[in-house]
Amino acid sequence: MKIGVAFSFQVHRALGDTWDRSYRESLELAAEIDRLGFDSIWASEHHGEDDGYCPSPVVACAALAAAAPRCRVGQAVALAPLYGHPLRLAEDLSVVDNLSGGRLEIGLGQGYRPAEFETYGWPYARRTRAFEECLEILAMAWRGERFDFDGQIYKVKGGLLRPPPIRPGALPLWVGAAAPKARMRAVRHRAGLLVAPLIELEHLVRQIRSYDEEAERQNAGPLPHALMREVLVGDSVADAMKRHEPFLDHVYRVQYAPERTGQTYVDAATGERRPLTGDNPLYLSKDFMQARWFLGTPAEIASRMLDWLPRLRLEHFIFQARQPGMSLRQAVDSLEAIAKGVLPVIRAKLH
């Protein structure tokens, strides 16, 4: 299992962040991530956000690859329908693969926020068809031969991908696929499953089992899994929550507010799954975090990860390098604590 970190490049302006400093210091942090022995770095994507959430993860990956020359780099995830034409996306990805010496992973999704599509004048209702055709065109492009494609949305006439990726064939592909139909599509394209940070660990086990069952049904063989989580270091669970509270409040009460992401929870009184709202006492409570994330001392984090991760058969475990508003010093200190107190334990048991 490879352990990596993710960047969104968001800022918390109320805490004095600026966009240029976020990018500059993120590259400095990427160099530290490389030095500390982490395996991969990932950039995510959203559009039109006040906090400057990264809109261009493929571009960011080129810079991250230069800053961290031993790490693999990838998107978690890029919103494929918003890249214009899939062959153009393939060209950008292949250039980054060449610049990085063959270290690129591709993470793609179809998007779930209507406003992002409205901004580009793109019909939200057609995003699934566009995503399907994008995956088909990428698969044809990786073959390195001229090809034609006649889809409902995209056309290719005599397309040829140059430069091709360094290694012949398809680049490693990861797809966010929470719904059953999405999992069927991801398996059909032989993609790895990439799971976002907000799904409860118990539910995550069921989702991965469902993915594996679908892979078996399609005779796809075993397909890999990647998991994104928060890893919060402190002198205790309570201290970790307190240290990260101002940063997590911005991320999960603004950017990923439950009303915006469609989160649900199981009502303890009735056993029914209900919509979760930001004013629910459960939200961002100790119980909420413990059901999803890993927090506490490095020893506590490592112990809990060893309880869960063997059940998930992961190729990548990915956590956020730096929440918006966190100082570079605090981010480095946290990563050093994880590198010294968590990585050796996990690698000794799971590698």
String of b and e for 98-128 (b: at least 16 CB within 10 Å)?
A: ebbeebbbbbbbbbebeebbeeeebeeeebe
Which helix (H) or strand (E) element contains residue 81? Answer: none
Contact 316, 273 (CB under 8 A): no
The domain limits of the chain are 2-237+295-350
Of 314, 331, 291, residue with least CA distance to 222: 314
User: How far apart (Å, rounded) are the C-alpha atoms in residues 119 and 117?
Assistant: 5
Percentage, residues of the chain above pLDDT 90: 95
> Which CATH number describes the domain made up of 2-237+295-350?
3.20.20.30
The token duo for 88 is 């153009």
Tell me if 71 sits within 8 A of 38, measured CB to CB.
Answer: yes
Q: What is this structure's pTM?
A: 0.96
Q: Which helix (H) or strand (E) holds 238?
A: helix 237-250
Q: Which residue, 237, 258, 240, 229, is CA-closest to 317?
A: 229
Q: What angle do CA 173, 175, 178 make, to 5 degrees?
A: 160
Confidence label for 324 from pLDDT (cuts 50, 70 and 90)? very high
Predicted pLDDT at 350? 84
8 CB neighbour count, 10 Å cutoff: 27
Quick one: pLDDT band at residue 77, thresholds 50, 70, 90?
very high
Q: What is the pLDDT of residue 83?
A: 96
pLDDT at 25: 98
At 173 the pLDDT is: 98
Q: How far apart are CA 6 and CA 229, in angstroms?
A: 10
Rounded Cα gap, residues 282 and 265, in angstroms: 9
Mean pLDDT of the residues in the chain: 96
